[in-house]
Structure 1
Amino acid sequence: MSPRPILMLTALLVPALMLAACRREAAQPPSTSHANATFTATPEEARAIARDAYVFGVPMVDQYRQIHAYNIDRRDPLYRAPFNTLINFDRVFTPDDTAVVTPNADTPYSLANLDLRREPMVLSIPKIDPKRYFVFQLIDLYTFNFDYIGSRATGSNGGNYLIAGPDWDGPMPPGIDKVIRAETHLVTLAGRTQLFGPDDMENVKQVQAGYRLQPLSAFAGTPTPPPARKVDWIPSLPPDQSRTSPEFFNQLAFLLQFAPVHPSEKHLRDRFARIGVVPGGKLDVAALSPAQRQALVDGMADGQKEIESRRAAVTGRADQLFGTREELNNDYIARAAAAQIGLGGNSRVEAIYRTYEMDDHDELLDGSQRAYRFRFEKDRLPPVNAFWSLTAYTMPQQHLVPNPINRYTINSAMLPQLKTDADGGITIHIQKDSPGPGREANWLPAPDGRFMLVARYYWPKDALLEYEWSSPKVERVRGKE
């Protein structure tokens, strides 16, 4: 059995995570206007190449699924707007959002998928109260977190940030504070704005209203460039098919046309071409011999085993799996594992997540029979520059927990209301029923059954980054053995 997701999420995203629950049934097989690709490898060679191409392509194919849903397929229930449109999710998710998995109740999201082929886009940020954490994460089509805009990376004084694709070579225009260059033509911009509490939502909406995304020509008042080449956007593969169907390789080939070859990967692209994976090409899978088709399927299975092996080696923290190309050093298995653990996860310098499915007795968390505590010792609160939170989710659905006090998370913004222990520590009580009037301020309601916890630490300090401070254990305080 494969390990449970560690869920960096954050969600971008909401989009990527909602897809499994909301997708319509099967998409039609991909089709493009490009010439057919050729298959020159022997079946033995093809299996090894398919394994490597699958591991390489998993993040791209999964990323395209959310892009296609949100910005391309107007019939999809998740469709929001065309490319290059900033969408603000200006509310907190609740247990009624049953299609949303592991929602973050601390930072309402902003999202845009960018097509940078025509011209760069400019993201304008207003001046924001330094006490309110915000971040825009820039994710390329490979799913590298190639840059950041926000409290940590650029400060709270606002500015104008030009986001350019790989073909743009213009000078820095007047009024631009920073030029950010992407390796790929398609980029995801994932924003989060801190919410201090339910009564703070109107303030968050005002901040979000100040975010502005526009083409460079509109920002600079210059002529609009000619349109980019029209693309016949292919349907995305449903999650189950993207793990088993040879059409996966046509998805990858389609996406490679938006990702110019990095010098370190030319040899890989040359190998992929031997099984018909070429930028913009299409392999006629039906025309392959049974041995060739089986080689592709077997290669995908081999690649998935490698990914699951890496996932199994991660124990609660997967922060080393997310980052820039340089930080990951072309570790394709890590990149694929990260995509399957939690597409859109933050780099560790921005946020670290710790998930819990087991208590300190190595038993699954279960609110039907047990009560737990999560305790910060005196003067040992999480070492963060922004804030921390602890959120409970039902299992296996990974939804927020319905409860009588409508409390879905406990975070550092609530510290003035939390009760301290006699020794000065802080104990969070995690259980189905109220722990009593004297402890209810520190009560994080659990469901009547299995659940998981996610601790989020935003803008971690060195003590957390260097493992000098560890997230507490979930301690069982009562229940059947």
Structure 2
Amino acid sequence: MNRKSNRSWTKAAALVVVGTTLFTGCAGKNDPISQADKADVAKGVAAPSLEQTKAIAEEGFIYGLPLVMNYAVMNEFAVDPKSSQFKAPFNQLHNEHRVATPADTAVITPNSDTPYSILWADLRAEPLVITVPAVPKQRYYSIQLIDGNTYNYGYIGSRATASAPGSYLVVGPDWKGTAPPGIDKVFTSSTPFALTLIRTQLFNPADMPNVEKVQAGYKIRGLSAFLHQPAPPAAPKIDFLPATTAGIKANFFEYLSAAMQYVPASADDKAIRARLASIGVGPGRNFEFKDLSLEHKAAVLLGMKAGDEKVDRFLSSGMKNINGWNVGAFFGDQAFYQSNWLMRSGAAKGGLYGNDAAEAMYPFTRTDGSGQTLDTSKHNYTLTFPAGKLPPVNAFWSVTMYDGKSQLLISNPLNRYLINSPMLSAMKKNADGSLTLHIQKDSPGKAKESNWLPAPDNTVYLVMRLYWPKTTPPSILPAGEGSWQPPALVVSK
């Protein structure tokens, strides 16, 4: 990832040039991993064969893609102040007083429904306390807690904790304390660095001052400040490996090793980490692709290409196809994934930092109802919701347009990147009560422009979002089996 975008590597992962110095750990002399490597050499431990190397590279790419993507976003958002995507240093909340636009490129398929408040937490020195205000019941908000494994380890907000004020403790993996009085709930991150995403519903552009008032009520404090006690010593400063698109292309496994340094091993990933270590990938290691033999270079490249193809197949066939839309639930906590690295990688590539199904569902499509690729350089499309069959939600729904190749928002004359339910009052319904969206690159005419979702002169990636989906019929839940189904896109006549 460079300072402008991660699209060139997330969308073309099969073409990356990866690097790793197989079989030779290059950590510091006091690093336990490097000592283990030396012990293996002394024992004459056999290096993996070319076939084994390819298999490990394939599995390692699938396991590591979400970790590397998350590490790169952390660099852009919280580490590199020169990044165009920089938000704030660790443990400082950054409130966005706008929704996402095409200028937001650090995360693919960005949500343009809600202004974000963003926090990268460093939990090494002490836990953090998140305090929320009373939020009006009619205004949806959600605080999503995401760790370095890209697990959603907890929620605060309209669905999870209602609209009452409260204070919540966020702790790192090594914390052994007990929650003090005044704390409503404790959330434990599996990693010392963790992302908090706060979504606050915006009803219309004129509503932004009201959103800002809610955002001003979100408070982040260290536990010591919450208790009015002296702060503990600061955690040591870290010189993070800078994350750049060129660097990731040149040496993917070096970045995986860097990311793994801040993702403690668990029972779930012990086996895959051991296999990665056998080819020299792991925390504290440095790698140079040029040092590999041609045969091993080829084995690693072929393994990564195979891994990326598996991720793409999961995204295209690992969910239920309903009228051309892919419907499934593939975001969750550690227990949800159960070491299914392919699902986790597919989730990250399909839309990094997605919500649990109970919080939001994300039907997405690249095809029309007949299975043909959506290409608005060649066709105009319509999406019609029959009368009484709008997406069933407790909060709100949206349909967002992305460029089919980059999965980023597109510039357009209306600066309109989505159509959502708060816009319904300004839209025109058909005589039978149905609602038709016009999905095309050119205006359908002034009379239909209120229902126009501008599209690129290119292929299309569409994502429907159902925030806080209803659980009683009609419902999209259970994912792929619910009684409500998204309608097909059809080519306009």
Return the TM-score normalized by structure 2: 0.83
What number of residue pairs does the alignment pair up?
Answer: 458
Separation in structure 1 between the aligned mates of residue 176 and residue 241 of structure 2, nearest angstrom = 29
Distance 1:375 1:298, change over 3 A: closer
Tell me which residue corresponds to 2:132: 125
Structure 1 unaligned runs (5+)? 1-13
Superposition pairs of residues 394-473 of structure 1, within 5 angstroms: 394-396=403-405, 398-403=408-413, 405-431=414-440, 432-437=442-447, 439-447=448-456, 450-462=459-471, 463-466=475-478, 467-473=482-488
Distance 1:84 1:445, change over 3 A: same
Separation in structure 1 between the aligned mates of residue 268 and residue 444 of structure 2, nearest angstrom = 57
Secondary structure in 2 aligned to 1:263? coil
Q: Compute the displacement of 1:287 (Å).
A: 5.1
Superposition pairs of residues 112-261 of structure 1, within 5 angstroms: 112-238=119-245, 242=248, 245=250, 247-261=251-265
Secondary structure in 2 aligned to 1:264? coil
Tell me which residue corresponds to 1:280: 284
Superposition pairs of residues 27-46 of structure 1, within 5 angstroms: 35=31, 37=34, 38=37, 41-44=47-50, 45-46=52-53
Separation in structure 1 between the aligned mates of residue 3 and residue 434 of structure 2, nearest angstrom = 38
Q: Compute the displacement of 1:469 (Å).
A: 0.6
Tell me which residue corresponds to 1:266: 270
Residues 90 and 205 of structure 1 are in contact (CA less than 8 Å); yes or no, is this contact kept in structure 2? yes
Residues 160 and 176 of structure 1 are in contact (CA less than 8 Å); yes or no, is this contact kept in structure 2? yes
Residues 106 and 196 of structure 1 are in contact (CA less than 8 Å); yes or no, is this contact kept in structure 2? no
Deviations 1:273-305 (A, max 9, x none): 222234333356555555555443343333223
Could you tell me which of 383, 386, 391 is aligned with 2:395?
386
Q: Compute the displacement of 1:383 (Å).
A: 1.0
Could you tell me which of 74, 81, 89 is aligned with 2:81?
74
Query: What is the one-letter code of the residue matched to 1:19?
Result: N
Secondary structure in 1 aligned to 2:169? strand
Query: What is the one-letter code of the residue matched to 1:69?
Result: E
Query: What is the one-letter code of the residue matched to 1:359?
Result: D
Residues 91 and 201 of structure 1 are in contact (CA less than 8 Å); yes or no, is this contact kept in structure 2? yes
Separation in structure 1 between the aligned mates of residue 86 and residue 315 of structure 2, nearest angstrom = 31
Q: Compute the displacement of 1:307 (Å).
A: 2.1
Separation in structure 2 between the aligned mates of residue 96 and residue 171 of structure 1, nearest angstrom = 43
Secondary structure in 1 aligned to 2:77? helix
Q: Compute the displacement of 1:152 (Å).
A: 1.0
Q: Compute the displacement of 1:144 (Å).
A: 1.2
CA RMSD of aligned residues (A): 3.3
Structure 2 unaligned runs (5+)? 11-16
Q: Compute the displacement of 1:451 (Å).
A: 3.9
Distance 1:446 1:274, change over 3 A: closer
Separation in structure 2 between the aligned mates of residue 344 and residue 116 of structure 1, nearest angstrom = 20
Residues 164 and 182 of structure 1 are in contact (CA less than 8 Å); yes or no, is this contact kept in structure 2? yes
Separation in structure 1 between the aligned mates of residue 257 and residue 108 of structure 2, nearest angstrom = 30
Alignment of 1:344 onto 2:349: no
Residues 135 and 214 of structure 2 are in contact (CA less than 8 Å); yes or no, is this contact kept in structure 1? yes
Separation in structure 2 between the aligned mates of residue 370 and residue 56 of structure 1, nearest angstrom = 38
Q: Compute the displacement of 1:422 (Å).
A: 2.5
Residues 443 and 452 of structure 2 are in contact (CA less than 8 Å); yes or no, is this contact kept in structure 1? no
Secondary structure in 1 aligned to 2:492? strand
